[in-house]
Amino acid sequence: MRTDITENKSVVIRQKMKSAFAKVLLAARARGTAKEKAQQALAALAEFGFVDGYDRQPEAQIDPAALIPAQAALVALALMRLSPACARVAVTGLPHTVTVPDAHTAEVFRAAIAQSAKERASDRLVKIVVAAH
C-alpha cells in the first residue's frame, strides 16, 4: 500500500525526470560541436539534481560516478529512439530501422533490444544501424 507522501514523491520525481529528458533532447538538438552538446545535456541533468557538476579529470583518475552523465545521456537517447520504434513494430508488425551515431551506441542499443526481445517477440524486428558520416 502506498501512502500519500510516497505517491506525491513519485509524482515529483516523474515530473523532474520528464523535464530533465526534455532538456537533454533540446540540448542535443542545439547547434554546435559534440562537446558543446554534451556540456548542455550535462548542465540540464545537473540542474535537476540527477548528477553533480561534472569536472573533467585525467583518464587515470576518473571514478565510476563520473561516468553517470554519459550513461544518463545514453539512456535518454535509448528511450527516445527505441521506445517509438518498439511501439511501431508491435502495432504494425513491420520491421523498423533505428539509426544511431556511433558503433558503441549501436552495441548498447542491440543489447537492449536483445533483452527486451525476450519479453516482446516483436522487438526482434527493430534493427540498429550506424549512421554513415
**Helix (H) or strand (E) run with residue 116 in it:** helix 103-116
In the numeric block, which cell numbers belong to residue 15?
Answer: 515530473
Phi then psi for 7, rounded to 5 degrees?
A: -65, -40
**Helix (H) or strand (E) run with residue 96 in it:** strand 96-100
* pLDDT for the residue numbered 55: 45
Enter the DSSP assignment of 89. Answer: H
19-46 exposure pattern, b = at least 16 Cβ within 10 A, e = fewer: ebbebbbebbeeeeeeeebbebbbbbbe
pLDDT tens string 47-106: 655 554 444 444 455 666 666 777 788 888 888 889 899 999 999 999 999 998 888 888
pLDDT tens string 8-52: 777 777 778 777 776 766 666 655 556 666 666 666 666 655 554
* pLDDT for the residue numbered 124: 92
* CB atoms closer than 10 angstroms to residue 91: 9
* pLDDT for the residue numbered 96: 93
* pLDDT for the residue numbered 54: 41
Q: What is the mean pLDDT of residues 104-122?
A: 89
* pLDDT for the residue numbered 13: 78
